[in-house]
């Protein structure tokens, strides 16, 4: 998911949750030996942590005190910080960090400016706007602490189920997400997940019509229309290292339908499709420890072709002004007569 500072509202979380958020951010920053003192009333700090600075000559472990001030309105006054400074003076950490959900009051800012030079430790103040900027680097923290919409949460859940339990999302849940989610908040990984699952299960979804008559393949057009403005990439660079070393394990789409072009018996059963999905065995010519599974998909939509490849991450390519003779621009290994066969395939449905 893609987030902006407007998605982060500290007013929506409790003081305890704010401390927990700061704790998790410190973990992201590779602090260790973290001790959360849950309020800090008895110890002068909310969190105590260590950080090790490494260089080629010596490793140095430093002690940090972290104070978390959750203010829903107004600036933090100096009297709310004074006791923390007293404790730091007594125990002398290397650094005292102040995480604020709002900002320093003028009085607190003036007071800190005066005393910082006198201290044997660093005082670092991270105010609300800066903290939001830092959190945007960690979308998982934004998701965890700030209320997702129902559809954002649904997408997060089905991605988790697919990753952890290999459970494919149902047509019903994909349809609800596709029709309602704010597409502008989705990143390439989110879009790739939706498209791969929709077209990867296309045949299964289509068979629902034999029982329910409810499968609508046009629902995905909302995502594809958004993708026309989103994608600028014109090369599928991540696929190049596998181009001469992959095998097709299975799939469905245009090329599978084209198999029947010269079959006089079954040609009448062909369907006009606008995609091809493959599960690929990558590096199959190499030793087993180099084997991988990749997901490949291309979709023809109006006057563009989208080409997707998912290995460790997702890449999406666009071919604009697409017409049948450009089918040979795909990244796949294609037979020389693919353009002629594709035109023949389209002609079958043009009557």
Where residue 194 falls (left for φ over 0; alpha for ψ -120 to 50; beta otherwise) is: alpha
Per-residue pLDDT band for 2 (boundaries 50, 70, 90) equals: confident
**Range of lowest pLDDT (1-15, 40-54, 57-71):** 40-54
Find out whether 53 and 59 touch, Cβ atoms under 8 Å.
yes
- Give the pLDDT confidence score for residue 318 in this predicted structure: 98
Contact criterion met (CB below 8 Å) for 305 and 298? yes
Q: What is the pLDDT of residue 42?
A: 43
CA distance 307 to 315: 8
pLDDT above 90 covers a percentage of the chain that reads: 78
287/290 Cα distance (integer angstroms): 6
- Give me the pLDDT at residue 144, please: 86
Tens digits of per-residue pLDDT, 176-220?
999 999 999 999 999 999 999 999 999 999 988 877 788 999 999
Question: How many CB atoms lie under 10 A from the CB of residue 199?
Answer: 25
Mean pLDDT, residues 150-156 taken together: 89
118 SS3 class: helix
DSSP 104: B
Question: Which residue(s) pair with 282 in the sheet?
Answer: 246, 292
Domains in the chain (CATH in brackets) are 5-145 (3.40.1350.10), 150-348 (no CATH)
β-pair type (95-100, 122-126): parallel
What are 90-137's pLDDT values in tens digits? 999 999 999 999 999 999 999 999 999 999 999 999 999 999 999 999
Calpha distance 69→39 (Å, rounded): 10
**Residues 261-301: tens digit of each pLDDT:** 887 667 777 889 999 999 999 999 999 999 999 999 999 99
pLDDT on residue 39: 47
**Structure confidence at residue 263 (pLDDT):** 75
Residue 68 to residue 255: CA distance in whole angstroms: 58
Q: Residue 351: pLDDT band by 50, 70, 90 thresholds? A: low
- The DSSP secondary structure of 50-95, one letter per residue, reads EEEEE-SS-EEEEEEEEEEE--SSSPBPGGGTHHHHHHHHHH--SE
Distance CA 285, CA 281 (A): 10
H helical segments located in the chain: 15-28, 82-91, 106-115, 128-135, 139-145, 150-165, 171-180, 188-200, 202-207, 221-230, 254-258, 338-348
Residue 51 forms beta bridges with which residues?
62
CA atoms within 13 A of residue 269's CA, in its CB half-sphere: 7
**Range with the lowest mean pLDDT among 2-6, 62-66, 110-114, 338-342?**
2-6
Pairing of strands 246-253, 275-282: antiparallel
Percent of the chain clearing pLDDT 70 (strictly above): 96
pLDDT of 265 reads 63
> Is 316 a residue whose pLDDT tops 90?
yes
Mean pLDDT of 305-309: 98
Q: Measured between alpha carbons, how far is 6 from 96 in angstroms, rounded to an integer? A: 28
- Residue 42's Cβ-side half-sphere holds a number of Cα atoms within 13 Å equal to 3
State residue 210's pLDDT score.
Answer: 77
- DSSP 3-state assignment of 157? helix
Q: How far, in Å, CA of 193 to CA of 220, rounded?
A: 13
């Amino acid at each position: 998911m893609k987030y902006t500072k407007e998605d982060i509202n500290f007013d929506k979380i409790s003081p305890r949750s704010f401390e927990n958020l700061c704790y998790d951010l410190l973990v992201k920053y590779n602090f260790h030996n973290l001790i959360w003192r849950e309020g800090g009333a008895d110890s002068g700090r909310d969190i105590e942590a260590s950080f090790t600075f490494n260089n080629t000559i010596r490793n140095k472990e430093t002690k940090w005190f972290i104070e978390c001030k959750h203010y829903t309105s107004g600036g933090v006054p100096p009297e709310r910080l004074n006791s923390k400074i007293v404790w730091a003076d007594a125990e002398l950490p290397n650094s005292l960090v102040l995480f604020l959900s709002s900002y320093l009051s003028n009085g607190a800012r003036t007071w800190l400016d005066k005393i910082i030079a006198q201290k044997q430790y660093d005082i670092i103040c991270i105010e609300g706007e800066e903290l939001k900027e830092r959190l945007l680097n960690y979308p998982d923290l934004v998701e965890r602490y700030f209320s997702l919409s129902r559809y954002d949460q649904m997408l997060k859940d089905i991605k988790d189920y697919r990753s952890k339990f290999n459970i494919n999302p149902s047509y019903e849940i994909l349809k609800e997400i596709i029709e309602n989610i704010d597409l502008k908040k989705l990143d390439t990984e989110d879009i790739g997940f939706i498209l791969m699952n929709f077209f990867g299960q296309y045949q299964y979804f289509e068979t629902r019509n034999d029982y329910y008559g409810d499968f609508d393949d046009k629902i995905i057009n909302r995502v594809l229309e958004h993708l026309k403005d989103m994608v600028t990439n014109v090369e599928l660079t991540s696929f190049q290292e596998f181009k001469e070393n992959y095998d097709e394990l299975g799939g469905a789409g245009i090329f599978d339908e084209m198999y029947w072009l010269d079959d006089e018996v079954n040609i009448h059963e062909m369907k006009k499709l606008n995609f091809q999905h493959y599960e690929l065995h990558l590096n199959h010519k190499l030793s087993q420890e180099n084997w991988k599974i990749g997901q490949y998909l291309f979709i023809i939509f109006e006057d563009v072709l989208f080409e997707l490849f998912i290995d460790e991450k997702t890449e999406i390519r666009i071919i604009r002004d697409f017409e049948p003779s450009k089918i040979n621009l795909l990244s796949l290994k294609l037979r020389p007569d693919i353009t002629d066969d594709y035109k023949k395939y389209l002609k079958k449905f043009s009557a």
